[in-house]
Amino acid sequence: MDVCGIDPGLGTTGYAVIRAGAGSLNIIEAGVLTTNSRTAIDHRLIELADGFREVLRQWEPAVVGVEQLYAHYKHPRTAVQMAHARGVLLETAARTGASIRHFSATHIKRYLTGNGRASKLQIQRAIQTAFNLAALPEPNDVADALAVGVCCARDLADARLEAAV
C-alpha cells in the first residue's frame, strides 16, 4: 500500500510517498512543493493544489497522512497561512478518494523518537536511520513529510493487527 505523508506549509510543503508492505517501508518519492511569496495568496493556493494534485495523480496513494495544524500563539499569521495551505491540501486529497489521516506533531515525534518534543535534527536522524539513508534528509520539510508517512503507515499496520486479533 502506498501512503503519502504531508508536512503542510504555504511557502514550502514537504511530501513523501512511501510503499508499505510485508514489514518494510520504502521511499518511492519525496520532495517539496513551493510557492512564490511575492504572489497573491489565492494564486499560491492554486499553485500548491496543482502541484499536490500532480503528486497524487502520479502515485495514487491509498492513504494521505497530514500533520495537524500547530502554531505558537506568538505567530498567528503563520498559523492562518498554514491553515489555508492545509485546507487546500486536504481538499485536493479528498477529491482523489484517498483515506485521510491526521497526526499531531507530538504524536509523530513521540512515535519516531520516544520524545514528543524532539528537535528537527532528531527527526531527520530518526528518518535517516529508519530508511538507512547515507545522509540526513533535506530540507527538514521532506524529513517531516517522511515522518508523517512512517507514522501513518505504522498506524495502519497496527490497526490491521488489532483487527486480525
Question: If DSSP codes are grouped into helix, strand and coil, which group holds residue 73?
Answer: coil
DSSP-assigned letter for residue 138: S
Known active-site residue 7: yes
Rounded to two decimals, what is the model's pTM? 0.93
Taking the C-alpha atoms of residue 142 and residue 140, their distance in angstroms, rounded to an integer, is 5
Catalytic site includes residue 60: no
41-50, Cβ contacts within 8 angstroms, sequence gap of 24 or more: 41/10, 41/81, 41/84, 44/10, 45/10, 45/84, 45/85, 45/88, 48/10, 48/13, 48/85, 48/88, 48/89, 49/88, 49/89, 49/91, 49/92
Q: Helical H runs in 10-165?
A: 41-59, 76-96, 105-113, 120-130, 140-164
Name the amino acid, one letter, at 96: T
Q: Which pLDDT value is given to residue 164?
A: 66
Q: Grid coordinates representing 90?
A: 486536504
CA 69 to each of CA 23, 62, 81: distance values in angstroms, whole numbers, following the listed order = 30, 22, 10
Q: Given this model, what pLDDT does residue 61 score?
A: 97
Give the list of residues 6+ apart from residue 55 with CB closer than 8 angstroms, or none: 4, 15, 17, 29, 33
Question: Which residue among the candidates 7, 29, 47, 54 is catalytic per the annotation?
Answer: 7
Question: In this predicted structure, what is the pLDDT of residue 161?
Answer: 59
Q: Which of 2, 47, 67, 138 is catalytic?
A: 67
Is 67 among the catalytic positions? yes
Q: What radius of gyration, in Å, describes the C-alpha atoms of the chain? A: 15
How would you write the pLDDT of the chain (165 residues) with one tens digit per residue? 999 999 999 999 999 999 998 889 999 999 999 999 999 999 999 999 999 999 999 999 999 999 998 766 667 888 889 899 999 999 999 999 999 999 999 999 999 999 999 999 999 999 999 999 999 999 999 999 999 999 999 988 777 656 766
Identify the pLDDT of residue 72: 61
Distance of alpha carbon 60 from alpha carbon 47, whole angstroms: 19
Q: Which of 42, 60, 91, 141 is catalytic?
A: 141
